[in-house]
Structures are given as C-alpha cells and as structure tokens.
Amino acid sequence: MHSKRFTWILVVFLLALQTAQMLYMVHRESLTFDEGNHMFAGYMMGHAGDYGLNPEHPPLVKLLAALPLLGRNLWIPPMQQRLFKAEAYLDGRDWLARNDGASQRLVFRMRMAAGLLALGLSLVVFFAAREWFGDTAGLIALLIVVFEPNIAGHSALVTTDVGVTLFFLWSIYAFYRYVKRPTATRLIIAGVVSGLLIATKHSGILLLPMLIALIGWESFYAPKGERIRTALRLKGALGVIVIIGVLVLWAFYGFRYAARPAGQTFPTVAEYAAPLSHFDQSVVIWIGHMRLLPESYLIGLIDVKRMAQFYPTFVLGRQIAHSVWWYFPLVITIKTTLGMLGLVLLALFAVMTGKLRKPREIAYLLIPWILYLGIAMAAGMNIGARHILPLYAMAAILAGGGVVALAQSSRRWQWACGLLIAAHIASPLLIAFPNYIPYANEAWGGPKNVHNLLSDANVDWAQQLYQVKAWQDRHPGDECWFAYFAYPEIDPATYGIRCHPLPNIDTFWLGGAEPTPSTVNGYVLISAGDLSGCEWPSGQLSPYLAFQSLKPEEMIDDAVMVYRGPFSMRQAAALSRAEMAFQLLWKGDPKDALPLAQEAASIDPAGIMAQTALGDVSAALGRKDDARTAWTAALNAAGQLEPDAQESYVPDLKEKLSKL
C-alpha cells in the first residue's frame, strides 16, 4: 500500500511538471502555423455546424480546443466563398486578430484545453508500461515522455499530433487488454478509442493494418489447435471495432454527410479527387456515393493524398523536389535526445539477449512501431518529427521495460541506465528549454544548427513573434524587413511588429505581398523556413538563397536569423511584384497587373515567377507575342532546375505555349 501511494505521488508530481512546462511555453509562443485555422474551424463547427472549414483534419482536437468558447458570441469575418483552405487560414487569422489580438487570452484557453490530450498521453504511457513491465517501468516511461522535447514542444498546441499519438497508443493498448481478457466492455472501449483516433487525424486509419498484423501474430503464436479459432474470433472483434469506430467518427460530424451548411460552396468529392489516380478516385467517389463516411472526412483524405504528391523536402541543407525514404530515420537521429537513443538501443539489447521476456507486449510495441515508420517513410510528407510522435511514445514504454530488465541483472546496468535517463532529461532542459520545437541533439550541433539540417516544424513553425517583437523593442527606429514563414496566414503586425513583409510562397497563393526594394539598407530578419526555401521545389528558386552563406548577427529563438544590410534583394523584389501581378490578374484586373509584371521581369529577367506572370498577364490582354516571349524565357529558366523540380513548371509552361 505504501509503495502504491508513493508511485501515485510520483505520477502526480511528474504530471504537475508537465503542466508547468506547458503553461510556461504557451505564454511565450505566438501562434504556430496551423493553429489559427484549427481554432476558427472548431469554433465554427460548434457555432454554425460548419465542418467544411479545414477538412484537412477531422474534428476532435478542434472541437476540444473550442470548448472554452462555448456560449461566446464572437465576431466572425464574412465568408468570401474561397477554397476552404484559404477561407480557414485567412478568416482564422482575422477572427483571432479581432477577438484576441496579441494578448492571446483566447489562444491560451484553447491551448490548455488541447493540452489535456498531452496529460492523457502521459497517463496512457504510464498505465500501459506499468501493466506490461511493472510499476517502475511505468514511472520511467512517464519520466521519459514528460521530458521528451518533441512531445513537449507540441503538447499545448491546438494541432492534431499529440492527440493522434494519445489515441494511437491507447487504441493499441485497449486492443491488447481485450485480447488478454476478452469481454464486451473491453471490446466496446477498444472500438470507442479507435473512433476517437480516426476523429483526430486521417493517419488514424493506419491503425487497421496494425491491428491486422497483431491479429496475425496472435494467431501464429496461439496453440496449434486454437489458431484458426483465434484468428476468426479476433477478426470478428476487429469488425466490431471498425463499426463502433466509424459510428464515433460520424458522431463528431453530427451524423451529417454534408460538410457545410446549405448555400455555402464546397468542392464535391469527385471534383477534389480529380488529380488523384483513377483507382484512388474510384474508391473515394464510391465511398462518398454510398455515404459510408462524412463528406468533410473524405475531402480531408483526398487533401492529404494531394499534398503528398508534390511536397518538397529540405534535409541536410539540400532542397529536394520530392520525398526521400530515409528522411524520418534521419530525423529520429537528429531530433531524439542521445539519452533516449541509448535507452532504446539498450532495450532492444535486452530483448535480443532474453533479459526482457515479454513476447506479446514487445510485439504490441514493435509491430505498430515498424509499420508506422515504414508507412511514414513511404507517405511523401517530409515536414517534421511531429508526424512520427507515436513512435516516441511507444519507444518510451519499450525503454522503460528495458531499463527495469537490465537493472535487475546488475548494478552496472543500473548506473548505465540511470546516466542515460539523466542525459535524456538534461539535454532539452539545458540546450532548448523552453523553446523545444527546434530541438536537435548535441551530436548534430543542437538547436542552433538544426535550421541547417531540417526545416518546417522541426525548427520553425512560426512561433517566435513575441521574441521578434522584443528584438524590435531593443532596436527602436531601425528599419527592418521580415521574411516570416507563416505570413500571410499569421500577420506579425498583430503582435506590434512594424517590419516590412518580404514575399514567400504563401503570399503567391494568398496575397499580402508588398513591393520589396531591390536594395535594402537596414535589418533583414528571415525565419528558418524561408531561409531554407523549404516550400519551393528547388533551392534555386528561394529569394533568400544568398543569405544561407552569410553568418547572422543574431538568432532569435534558434529560428529567426537577423542580418544587417545593405543587401541586394533583386529576387525578392521581382517575386513581390510578380505575386502582386498574379493577385490582380486572378481578380480580373490584368490592365493594372501589367506594369507590375513588366517591372518584375525587368528586375529579374531569369526569374521563372516573374516571366510567368508577364506571360499570363500579356495573354489575358491579348498580347500573344509578348506572352510567347515571356513564357519562353520562363521555360528556359525552368530548364535550368533539377529534373524533378522542372516538373512543377515545365509541363504547365509548355501547355500555355501550345495554346497560343
């Protein structure tokens, strides 16, 4: 009894430490890239029954985050009937700016509501590790998770990554408990938790092949006379889990197929699936026709598939136009503490040497772990360790079991494991806290070097605006230009930042570019995502490529580089004008777009975007010869890119020329 009481005192203490970390972090971090649209979408689901804003992700986390806003009649920006992503991001930006501003009071409440998922994850890690490997293993696994920098860095954000980690682990654990002692209650719990998983993130459907593989393992290791019966029983249980899970998913959509209220525009499943392969189109269209899954959920599945088709990869200082299979294994070596890597290796050693003898429990960790990593490696979305957070939770449990098994064999193993646990805790606290997002371990140069190795949410998820504002306050009167990774989805001006915005790839799609001077004499701030050019299909296209070889005067939160001019900004100047020309053209105003496109092409004659803009505007005005000249120049420039990057531009330009 005394031992159990002490165990729970330690659990509560560790959860309190985790909560304290989250409270501190959410007060110092500005909005990250995706949070505004998640928050706005969650509010609109409860307020207006609109499931069509940001169908990229299912509703659970968004609805949970919006719970503190229940009953509040907040200002809502008028819908402009844009494509759902632009509507969610830009309306979410304006909604928060008007209702919350830089104070982030509403943001804080929504983040803490989402932070409950992180506490839930820690508890599931503890319970699973305790049941599988004992009380001490449960405490060690909990300790590892609380100080795991990738999980901690995303714990209090209104995003889906920690939620999907919680429900993945819980679903596997719930299925284990049913297999170990089959009861109707345990089966229903497994089904409900699986439903919560697929209602959190579309990657939740990966649970199905994991459970099928575990059923195969259970059947193979069942007594010879029981193998077929075991397989049939567990397949039947899987069917029940799927049915319950789908019902839970429908409940989060209010048991309504239509994504948006009547009268609001939304692409049909068939329209949005058009760029996919014939097989993928046929499957999702049939599911939609049969009303097996909600429309918003299907559109989100399609969106994930479409995004994976073209997303580029920045890794080890190189920009690659496509995904690479080795990305996530490399990310694990960079973003994981050396202590954690050592603990997992020791746990695997304990398994291979027979010191850790728990075959079923090890199977329930390693089979999902291997499948998840393998699918992530093939998925084509190489943008952050946050996409593999479930691997960290499962690894923590395995490490806890390995530590206990080895420590029982000798005092030397106790010291070795203790030192690795201490190293795991100390590393993020000493070199990263409280800014965990850009964490990298010491072997790779730590957080200050990670922007040279990786990009996107591995280092810069646009969370630094409070610190940028503090930098600006230390430099009153100095003129500055700011290339901010999340602009225009998030506007630094909301936080009182007065720097001139510099163009990026998102200002092309969403507007917000301003004419950049060809030469800048002052401070230039570039966030790591824009410095790497991670969203461009080729590093050559980044307007900030020249800055990669310069040493910044200062680094803000390990993710915003500060340079002092004068600098030539010719590429950025041309890009800003080209983007402004495109925006005017899309609004039906090619006459006013022409001078901007001409100026862009004169500033950067070899610029693909500048010449494409001039060609498009000229064609819209009936100036075919000018269009041909500009498009040919753009095509010649595109031909100088890497072969894979050419695919983003060459076919479209050739098609335009063929139609003249």
The pairing of strands 480-483 and 523-527 is parallel
Least confident of 7-11, 132-136, 535-539: 535-539
pLDDT of 247: 98
Contact between 96 and 107 (Cβ < 8 Å): yes
pLDDT of 380: 80
* Residue appearing with tokens 């600006």: 472
Mean of the pLDDT values across residues 247-252? 98
Contact between 576 and 516 (Cβ < 8 Å): yes
Within 10 angstroms of residue 537's Cβ, the number of other Cβ atoms is 23
244 vs 26, higher pLDDT: 244
Find out whether the peptide bond into 434 is cis, omega within 30 degrees of 0: yes
Ranges of H-type helices in 319-459: 327-335, 338-352, 359-379, 389-407, 411-431
- pLDDT-derived band at 469, boundaries 50, 70, 90: very high
Q: What is the pLDDT of residues 422-433, one digit of tens each?
A: 999 999 999 999
pLDDT of 193: 98
pLDDT of 54: 87
Mean of the pLDDT values across residues 106-126? 97
pLDDT of 81: 81
pLDDT of 2: 56
Could you give the percent of the chain with pLDDT greater than 70?
A: 100
Within 10 angstroms of residue 303's Cβ, the number of other Cβ atoms is 19
pLDDT of 266: 82
pLDDT at 1 over 60: no
> Sign of torsion, CA 40 52 311 542?
negative
Mean of the pLDDT values across residues 511-515? 93
pLDDT at 83 over 90: no
For 574-640, strand residue ranges (E) read none
Least confident of 60-64, 328-332, 645-649: 645-649
pLDDT of 102: 82
pLDDT at 179 over 60: yes
pLDDT of 23: 94
User: Rounded to whole angstroms, what are the CA distances from 192 to 184, 197, 238, 429?
Assistant: 12, 9, 12, 37
Domain boundaries, the chain: 457-568, 572-658
Q: What is the pLDDT of residues 29-55, one digit of tens each?
A: 999 999 999 999 999 999 999 999 889
The pairing of strands 480-483 and 500-501 is parallel
477 vs 158, higher pLDDT: 158
Q: What is the pLDDT of residues 315-330, one digit of tens each?
A: 999 999 888 999 999 9
pLDDT at 477 over 70: yes
Q: What is the pLDDT of residues 364-386, one digit of tens each?
A: 999 999 999 999 999 888 989 99
Burial 487-526 (b: 16+ CB within 10 A, else e): bbbbbbebbebebebbbbbbbbbbbbbeebeeebebbbbb
pLDDT of 616: 97
pLDDT of 309: 76
Selection from 594, 592, 632, 629 nearest residue 613 by Cα: 594
CATH classification number, 572-658, choose in 1.25.40.10, 3.40.50.1000, 3.40.1350.10, 1.10.760.10: 1.25.40.10
54 vs 116, higher pLDDT: 116
Could you give the percent of the chain with pLDDT greater than 90?
A: 90
Mean of the pLDDT values across residues 351-357? 95
Contact between 486 and 468 (Cβ < 8 Å): no
Q: What is the pLDDT of residues 299-310, one digit of tens each?
A: 999 998 888 777
pLDDT at 79 over 90: no
pLDDT of 342: 98
pLDDT at 82 over 90: no
DSSP code per residue over 243-308: HHHHHHHHHHTTT---SS-TT-----HHHHTTTS-HHHHHHHHHHHHHT-S-HHHHHHHHHHHHHH
